[in-house]
Structure 1
């Protein structure tokens, strides 16, 4: 089992993300932290292999936690990989995460499928690294395989996604964006003559890959409506 620490200041969001992780075979949530200080302490105590790290925390921000994890010599045996999960979209934050060594950056809100894909990619990389002999230098082909598999996995489309249908949904989203609006899955389904479930799958794919953004519209009762807008 791959041990995961979930770090998020919002108790409900942390619970949801922990539930996502628990649904993916081979992963186990060993702790939940709501502050940067608690995150660093729990990394030392629990030794997770992966940290799901929010940026907006009440004490240290996520980038400071990431720098501490990567720069500290006090925890040589506690050096987890980090997957940033945040609503922060500004380029300085994204650059900071990349330069800090984050494996990936998921923008909230994201779907279970988006997180599951990243966890599965991490598991594949983890298994490849574990299979390499620890007492001999890595060959170039081993390194190429590791980095190549990671980049291919990160760009792989979801199963069952058709290029032609994706182009239709993209065109509809672009047209709505040019008119200054956004779309729900139901509205996209009507415009594209797809089922609501199929339309949402394509919309979520564009959101997960950073080509569209999602905002939540809250009504009087029930779950908030997810609205999608194509990013220029």
Structure 2
């Protein structure tokens, strides 16, 4: 499944750069670009994007007001704020408006990629399920405090990061029943093969992924990994 993204930023060069970041992230594509609030609303009504990358400083109105107007014409759209605004009141307003994440400018490509990966993994966690268990819910709403500190059987080993694990999980889910190899996973999300295999084997050890051998005509059999629903 590919997520369509509407990039909203008043700066033409920044919007172009963010579009490149989106298109380089597996499972995402830029569906449109807007440089103002009114244009963003029109584009959202036409495209019904899965996600809006939303700047809060727009020339014809506040970004959060644009968010509310977009919700009226595209109610199933989610929002990820990318803005230089970092005062606490603006952050609180964005949180109350239901944004899925908030990224303060300037940022590196890897930071946006990690947040997109988390968004994709969270949405895929509910695909094909009619009833969510606590594990599904926790992917959408991270558990704070003591519950987060409790040891978990799938806790990441030292040296593995949660954002990269989300990217690998998203790649596994997107691969479906055919699965993927460590080399394919590495190429898809920009990791080394060795690093990709560490994450894949971690998911196998945590019983969140399965692995089987595929035999070719020559050489060693290939290990292929599939996500357990």
Aligned-partner Cα distance in 2 for 1:145–1:126: 8
Q: What's the RMSD between the two structures over aligned residues?
A: 2.7
Long gaps (5+) in structure 2: 149-155, 162-229
1:170 match: none
Aligned to 2:30: 29
How many residues are aligned here? 150
Cα pair 1:48 1:78 within 8 Å, conserved:
no
Say whether residues 1:11 and 2:12 are aligned partners.
Answer: yes
The secondary structure found in structure 2 opposite 1:5 is strand
The TM-score, its normalising length taken from structure 1, stands at 0.58
Distance of aligned partners of 1:145 and 1:26 in 2 relative to their CA distance in 1, 3 Å threshold: closer
Question: CA 1:159 to 1:16, structure 2 compared with 1: closer, same or farther past 3 Å?
Answer: farther
Q: Is the 8 A contact 2:51 2:79 kept in 1?
A: yes
- Pairing 1:45-194 to 2, within 5 Å after superposition: 45-70=46-71, 72=72, 75=73, 78-133=75-130, 137-140=131-134, 142-148=136-142
Aligned partner of 1:217 in structure 2 is none
In 1, Cα distance between equivalents of 2:118 and 2:138: 16
| Shift in CA distance, 150/20, structure 1 to aligned 2, threshold 3 Å | farther
Distance (whole Å) between structure 2 residues aligned to residue 150 and residue 81 of structure 1:
22
* In structure 2, C-alpha distance between the alignment counterparts of 1:82 and 1:150, rounded to whole Å: 22
Q: 1:149 to 1:121 in 2, by over 3 A?
A: farther
Deviation for aligned residue 1:31: 0.2
Over residues 126-166 of structure 1, what are the superposed CA-to-partner deviations in whole Å (9 max), with x where a residue is unaligned? 11122322xxx5445543454248998xxx9x9668xxxxx
**Which blocks of at least 5 consecutive residues in structure 1 are unaligned?**
162-232
Q: Within 2, Cα distance between the matches of 1:120 and 1:159?
A: 19
Hey, what does 2:192 align to over in structure 1?
Answer: none
Q: Is the 8 A contact 2:45 2:70 kept in 1?
A: no
Q: Equivalent residues in 2 for 1:210-225 (5 A)? A: none
Distance verdict in 2 for CA 1:51–1:140, change over 3 Å: same
SS of alignment partner, residue 85 of structure 2: coil
2:137 match: secondary structure: helix
Structure 2 SS opposite 1:41? helix
Q: 1:146 to 1:97 in 2, by over 3 A?
A: closer
SS at match of 2:30: strand
